[in-house]
Structure 1
């Protein structure tokens, strides 16, 4: 099946380009189809007129096709709030691995996108103003620095915080957070000084669990005490967790001015996709709270948390700096549990 370049088609039509009997694989960030006529990827990571970034995990068949040299043609589509924009064929430019596992693919479109379509595809919204995303997953501390500067401003009041004896990621967090009260409070709270054995460095806003540090490590594991019978270890270590914590604070609590624009809704899979379509998934492993698998998506003016406890329904939290960033959400027909604009 052939589709005209730059046309917008339904997802089923895009996947059909792979050919009859294609195997379809869905991840949090993309949908893949591998068939006799080619490989299809539908993603949201368009960086500019010709570069597309896709974050893992990747199905083994798709990984083999895209990194194994000569293989079937790769057809790329950009996910839009309604439909998929045909980007034409693409080729692999970089395969980023972490501990031997493929984490990211950088693709180059064979035909660069016309300038007037960049905003339609979300490229200009996701590439400009959120450059800190490009530092992940390699340097989460530097990414946190970039996010804080973007969201809160990079000239906080100097508020000294005792940092002696703390792991370096936590010291860096305190240095960045000086004067930004929004980084310390809310649904996830950070203490100025860890205390206890094992050290407690934070807690939930309602007091139902505490945040523990693995003693003695330079970049320690993080544990929740109170979410289960035994301390539950978070997927990312402290350096990455602190960035995820700051993003969660924005999505759920919407600082720095109280209830900034945003809200919370329960959404099905299709609705959740439309909510995050213009955003880029933060390329870190999902949080274990507030849902068992909580992924975060971000752009220059918006942060969204999509929490999954089962395969059918998602908790979605959205925070924005500008009410204009939320106009499109009013058109999705969501049943918002709360919404501020």
Structure 2
């Protein structure tokens, strides 16, 4: 897939880490990852971040990115190794050579420059970059980063049901296993759940019934239960968007902060973080570690769930869902589910003491 462009002469990496045989890599060539990293020169140090692989060597800095935002711009998220941060933000450093990862190799994008480093409390969180040579239109579609699993956030807080439908379609590959007939007697939120989500979010943590049943205290209906049987989910009868209660977590039914429509969306997101099938894990972390986990994510603009922790906030990105549960001021119970290898690499590099960690990602759609 080569096109006319300025050629860069590099060494090609061979088995054993030796460098032999000068080869040419031209703009828009597709090369194997070792060939792309070799542009940095002999003895280059390789680092991985959330969105990219870097090589820093005597001939320059190489970045293999997940993709680009448009024909000229791309963004990569940290945390960044100190060497890479220094090279990219230190002024007159060595040239930055950029490649975009494709299924069959790395597309040569030429050189780029940093346009805006984003810091939070002095820590570099994100870099916005601009390519020196814009991508031609016929290549843009191959490298452009879509936003599956993230555009639903823009529908909140006003339309949680449409957000639930869009998230479910993006996140799970398998179709829903809704009942053959979804009765009109159900509240609208449960109808949407059954048609778009049922079966996909079934997990060991929480189960939503196909149809509510009588039996709750004070005339409430039971519409779900915890996987371990510790509580039932109740809702008021005869209301289209009823209040939601936990029966079994306290002496009296405990009312959830959000009503049924928003609660069901939050429960679906919680299942994505806690129960897969995405890769990820669970950890107990301090406040600083929790901030690092959610740094590249957006907070879902709804009130916290009361379960699995007293205040369970959810954060989301195009390929990651995180639930951060707070029971006291010092420690947090965190669950993370991710569908991409770049986010999985980032989670591994955070240095957390994971209570559980699942890395199987072979069948995950990486977009």
**TM-score, structure 1 as length reference:** 0.62
Whole-angstrom distance in 1 between the partners of 2:358 and 2:191: 34
Whole-angstrom distance in 2 between the partners of 1:275 and 1:86: 14
* Contact residue 161 and residue 192 of structure 1 kept, 8 A: no
Given the alignment, which residue of 222, 239, 253 partners 1:231? 253
- Does the residue aligned with 2:335 lie in a helix, a strand or coil? strand
**Alignment partner, residue 356 of structure 2:** 338
Larger radius of gyration: 2
* Contact residue 125 and residue 278 of structure 1 kept, 8 A: no
- Does the residue aligned with 1:240 lie in a helix, a strand or coil? helix
* Contact residue 320 and residue 338 of structure 2 kept, 8 A: yes
Query: Residues 85 and 194 of structure 1: is their aligned pair in 2 closer, same or farther, counting only changes over 3 Å?
Result: closer
Given the alignment, which residue of 167, 170, 180 partners 2:187? 167
**TM-score, structure 2 as length reference:** 0.58
Please give the per-residue CA displacement for 1:255-302, whole angstroms capped at 9, x wherever unaligned. Answer: 3xxxx4110001111100101111111111000001110000111111
Instruction: Give 1:125 deviation, angstroms.
Output: 7.6
Instruction: Give 1:237 deviation, angstroms.
Output: 0.6
Determine whether 1:222 maps to 2:240: no
**Alignment partner, residue 326 of structure 2:** 308
Instruction: Give 1:177 deviation, angstroms.
Output: 2.5
Whole-angstrom distance in 1 between the partners of 2:302 and 2:336: 18
* Contact residue 125 and residue 295 of structure 2 kept, 8 A: no
Given the alignment, which residue of 205, 230, 238 partners 1:208? 230
Given the alignment, which residue of 266, 285, 291 partners 1:273? 291
Instruction: Give 1:165 deviation, angstroms.
Output: 1.7
* Contact residue 126 and residue 299 of structure 1 kept, 8 A: no
Determine whether 1:135 maps to 2:175: no
Whole-angstrom distance in 1 between the partners of 2:255 and 2:117: 36
Whole-angstrom distance in 2 between the partners of 1:145 and 1:81: 36
* Contact residue 148 and residue 319 of structure 2 kept, 8 A: no
Query: Residues 194 and 159 of structure 1: is their aligned pair in 2 closer, same or farther, counting only changes over 3 Å?
Result: closer
Give unpaired runs (5+ residues) of structure 2.
1-68, 74-115, 132-143, 360-367
- Does the residue aligned with 1:246 lie in a helix, a strand or coil? helix
Instruction: Give 1:155 deviation, angstroms.
Output: 5.0
**Alignment partner, residue 308 of structure 2:** 290
Query: Residues 82 and 333 of structure 1: is their aligned pair in 2 closer, same or farther, counting only changes over 3 Å?
Result: farther
- Does the residue aligned with 2:203 lie in a helix, a strand or coil? coil
Instruction: Give 1:126 deviation, angstroms.
Output: 9.6
Whole-angstrom distance in 1 between the partners of 2:266 and 2:354: 24
Determine whether 1:147 maps to 2:187: no
Determine whether 1:244 maps to 2:266: yes
1:41-80 map, 5 Å: 78=118
Given the alignment, which residue of 207, 215, 218 partners 1:189? 207
Instruction: Give 1:329 deviation, angstroms.
Output: 1.5
Please give the per-residue CA displacement for 1:119-147, whole angstroms capped at 9, x wherever unaligned. Answer: xxxxx989665100000000000000110
Determine whether 1:263 maps to 2:303: no
Whole-angstrom distance in 2 between the partners of 1:86 and 1:153: 30
Whole-angstrom distance in 1 between the partners of 2:181 and 2:270: 22
Instruction: Give 1:81 deviation, angstroms.
Output: 11
**Alignment partner, residue 64 of structure 1:** none
Instruction: Give 1:254 deviation, angstroms.
Output: 0.9
Query: Residues 81 and 298 of structure 1: is their aligned pair in 2 closer, same or farther, counting only changes over 3 Å?
Result: farther
Please give the per-residue CA displacement for 1:208-267, whole angstroms capped at 9, x wherever unaligned. Answer: 000000122111110000001110110111000111000111111113xxxx41100011
Whole-angstrom distance in 2 between the partners of 1:316 and 1:82: 24
* Contact residue 81 and residue 275 of structure 1 kept, 8 A: no
Given the alignment, which residue of 217, 221, 226 partners 1:199? 221
Query: Residues 78 and 127 of structure 1: is their aligned pair in 2 closer, same or farther, counting only changes over 3 Å?
Result: farther
Whole-angstrom distance in 1 between the partners of 2:153 and 2:242: 22
Instruction: Give 1:79 deviation, angstroms.
Output: 5.2
Give unpaired runs (5+ residues) of structure 1.
1-46, 50-75, 88-112, 117-123
How many residues align structurally? 231
